[in-house]
Amino acid sequence: MCSNLVEAGTLRQSCSIFLGVLLLYAAAVHAESSPQADFGPHFWDVRDFGAVGDEKTDDTAAFQKALNAAGETGGGVVYASRGNYFFAGHLNIPKAVALVGLWQSVPAHNGIRDRGLPKPTDDGTTFLVTEGAGNEEGPAFITLNTNSTLKGVVIYYPQQNVDNVPKPYPWAIAMRGKNPAVLAVEMLNPYNGIDATQNERHLIRDVQGQPIRRGIMVDAIYDIGRIENVHFNPWWSTKPKLLQWQMENGEAFIFGRSDWQYVYNTFCFGYKIGYKFIRSKAGVCNGNFLGIGADDCYTALVAEQCAPYGLLITNGEFVSFHGPDPTMIEITETNTGSIRFVNCAFWGPCNQIAKIAGAGTVGFGDCTFVQWGGKEGNRAAIQAQSGTVLIRGCEFRQDRPQIQLGKDIGRAIIAENIFTGSERIINQSKGNVQIGLNVSN
């Protein structure tokens, strides 16, 4: 009898424990599925302010009310759940406010028009942008300020031409203040992508899409900016007219003044210029560029000017094979800074790997060159007109002219390279040129 009572008591105790665990689990699941549980008490839902997300109703005012409410209390998270939010206007994200959508990692909608895959309006949090058509000088669709964030959304321009000359629009995103951030955002088809100027310590991470005219513009940065894991590819439209216009006019990454810029694991495909370095009114760029790539761009990288401290470009991959003069690297006559390419790969088929001018220094170290020479196969891989050139420890994998030094080259070192076929270096320089320890078969 006592034994049975003990067993019954134990069973009741076990059942109570089991039910308690179930209740705790259910509460945890409910909490995890609630955005407010994820974001804490400083949380606002745009639907509580009248946002509809039906692809037709203008949600601009409702979103701005929610953003302002968050800003007035010192900051927090404004959440936009699954929906297709239509905007006839633009948004300003106040200081310390994050506008957050459903996505926790950047989505992709490649092939949506050609392969029947999900459209951006079929899933997630999608912003349908219409303001500013025909005028790229208008206000950006979203402006970020100090410590504000945009995360987990798709930005889509439903009225953009899919197979024609694109309509100009203002920037999709403008980053201002200190520490603005864009995270896990798909910019599916903006005319202009991210205006990352006039701020400090911006962070752009996990961004994908097809900006048509400009991808990211960096300028007037006086404290370190960071761009990480950004991928621009013609997923939205590969229709002939639009893609041809993009390749004749598009620039993926543009850098003016930046006092040390960090760029890591970035890629672009199908632009006139992949990476462009300019002198703006604010100045020029120096920085560290690691694991960057440009494929099928008329010119993969153009440097019009950079800071004397230099551009350090490591583990890059550059490909050019279309356009009037397919070239991977062009250093123009205005450059006076220092540029280094280390452990980079270049291939085509292109006319030449690099055209170098200006009074600056350009170096290639431990790089690999493939598929150059043009249709006749008689162009040199590296054509240097002026300045200082360092080419050391590189491999030239075709039996074609390797290097041509113009008469205005002031200094050059060409050493410890490996040539396929005979050594073919054309030296017209009147300066101090050292050539030696190269190996050919």
Local confidence pLDDT in tens for the 441 residues of the chain: 444 444 445 445 544 544 444 444 444 434 444 565 566 668 999 999 999 999 999 999 999 999 999 999 999 999 999 999 999 999 999 999 999 999 999 988 875 544 444 567 778 999 999 999 999 999 999 999 999 999 999 999 999 999 999 999 999 999 999 999 999 999 999 999 999 999 999 999 999 999 999 999 999 999 999 999 999 999 999 999 999 999 999 999 999 999 999 999 999 999 999 999 999 999 999 999 999 999 999 999 999 999 999 999 999 999 999 999 999 999 999 999 999 999 999 999 999 999 999 999 999 999 999 999 999 999 999 999 999 999 999 999 999 999 999 999 999 999 999 999 999 999 999 999 999 999 998
Residue 92 CA to residue 99 CA, distance in Å, equals 10
Residue 269 CA to residue 234 CA, distance in Å, equals 7
CB 299 within 8 A of CB 328: yes
Residue 217 lies in a domain: no
| Nearest residue to 105 (alpha-carbon basis) of 152, 140, 163, 149 | 152
The last residue of a domain, from among 202, 236, 266: 202
Residue 215 CA to residue 223 CA, distance in Å, equals 21
Residue 153 CA to residue 80 CA, distance in Å, equals 9
Whether 96 and 4 map to the same domain: the answer is: no
Whether 72 and 186 map to the same domain: the answer is: yes
Strand 299-303 and strand 327-331: pairing? Answer: parallel
Residue 221 lies in a domain: no
Residue 34 CA to residue 295 CA, distance in Å, equals 42
Residue 240 lies in a domain: no
279-299: burial string, b at 16+ Cβ within 10 Å, e else:
bbeebbbbbebbbbbbbbbbb
Distances from the Cα of 375 to the Cαs of 322, 367, 372, 380, 423, in angstroms?
Answer: 13, 23, 9, 12, 21
pTM (2 d.p.): 0.90
CA dihedral over 406, 407, 411, 415, signed as positive or negative: positive
Q: Which domain holds residue 279?
A: 250-441
Residue 295 CA to residue 317 CA, distance in Å, equals 8
Whether 96 and 186 map to the same domain: the answer is: yes
Whether 14 and 119 map to the same domain: the answer is: no
Whether 339 and 277 map to the same domain: the answer is: yes
Counting the structural domains of the chain, the total is 3
Whether 18 and 55 map to the same domain: the answer is: no
Whether 369 and 382 map to the same domain: the answer is: yes
Whether 22 and 43 map to the same domain: the answer is: no
Long-range contacts of 101-107 (CB under 8 A, 24+ apart): 101/125, 101/151, 101/152, 101/153, 101/154, 102/152, 103/151, 103/152, 103/153, 103/154, 103/184, 103/186, 104/152, 104/184, 105/184, 105/206, 106/184, 106/185, 106/186, 106/206, 106/207, 106/208, 107/154, 107/186
Residue 18 CA to residue 11 CA, distance in Å, equals 10
